[in-house]
Amino acid sequence: MVTVNQQRVPRKRTYLMCSPEHFAVEYAINPWMDVTMPVDPELAVKQWDRLRETLVGLGHEVHLLTPEPGLPDMVFAANGAFVVDGTVYGAQFMHEQRAAEAAAHRAFYESQGWRFIAPSETNEGEGDFAYLPEAHGGLILAGHGFRTELPAHAEAQEALARPVVSLRLVDPRFYHLDVALASLDDGNIVYYPGAFSAASQKVLAQLFPDAVVADDGDALAFGLNLVSDGRNVVLNSEASRLAGKLKAAGYTPVPVELAELKKGGGSVKCCVAELRH
């Protein structure tokens, strides 16, 4: 039997979330969304609140964005921008139904005095970007194929002055990077290889030989859509097998139930943007 002696160290984070008060499935822009499926917005708020309390309970700071009527996907706060080293690279949504969310995020960052860089390229913020401060001196991983467009990767590199590694997503069920890959700490990731092109899988295997590798079941349970502080890994409660793998790797899984929001095609990470000073 292998024993893990590794002591994983949590780091205090600052997050941005937005209550699902106006959450609904009124249009279908990803394969998980079914407009005929009833949504219980009260239950969505309750489950989202538990997620917020869980993050606060772990010692993190959570800022709140005011939800706006007519923007039912605004709860997925990860899509509104991508923040690295105090600089905010704004989002420009692929679908018109979500376009107005970008301005709400921009107003939040500008009111807080962050350095904000407006995009000219289509990109969905942290939904398609991940940052690993200790990997190769500070590396950005970026997805393309469904939402964020390739030119945005170059634009993000210029905006944030960190190398951006482009990864091609090939399975429409995993339409954002953050449903297929997550950072577990400053230097390591967990990912589902099947969501990526064969070449991108090779790139990930080369850069992250110690990554935790997830399987189809983990990915379909939205397990990869997780938020980690370096030790505590907050993830969808349905992803119990992935929780076991993370535990074996020395992390502490913290399951949360987010079944209502899954109807919009998102889970834990989609609801949480990280503000990195």
Kind and range of the H or E run holding 14: strand 14-18
Question: Residue 272 in contact with residue 20, Cβ under 8 Å?
Answer: no
CB of 270 to ligand ARG, least distance (A): 3
Nearest to ligand ARG of 8, 227 (CB atom): 227
CB of 86 to ligand ARG, least distance (A): 22
Nearest to ligand ARG of 8, 269 (CB atom): 269
Question: Which of 18, 144, 153, 270 does the annotation list as catalytic?
Answer: 270
CB of 189 to ligand ARG, least distance (A): 16
H helices within the chain, ranges in order? 41-57, 101-111, 150-160, 198-207, 216-220, 240-248, 259-262
Residue identified by tokens 């076991």 is 244
DSSP string, 107-159: HHHHHTT-EEE--SS-B-GGGTEEEETTSTTSEEEEEESSSS-HHHHHHHHHH
Nearest to ligand ARG of 176, 245 (CB atom): 176
Which residues make up the interface to ligand ARG (CB under 6 A)? 29-30, 33, 73, 76, 78-79, 98, 127, 176, 178-179, 264-266, 270
Sign of CA dihedral 186, 192, 197, 198: positive
> 3-class DSSP state for residue 260?
helix
Closest Cα partner for 175 from 162, 153, 192, 163? Answer: 192
Nearest to ligand ARG of 178, 185 (CB atom): 178
CB of 153 to ligand ARG, least distance (A): 17
Question: Which of 60, 105, 153, 176 does the annotation list as catalytic?
Answer: 176
- Annotated catalytic residue 270: yes
Q: In the structure encoding, which two tokens stand for residue 272, read together?
A: 């949480």
Nearest to ligand ARG of 19, 30 (CB atom): 30
CB of 9 to ligand ARG, least distance (A): 26
Query: Catalytic residues, which ones?
Result: 176, 270
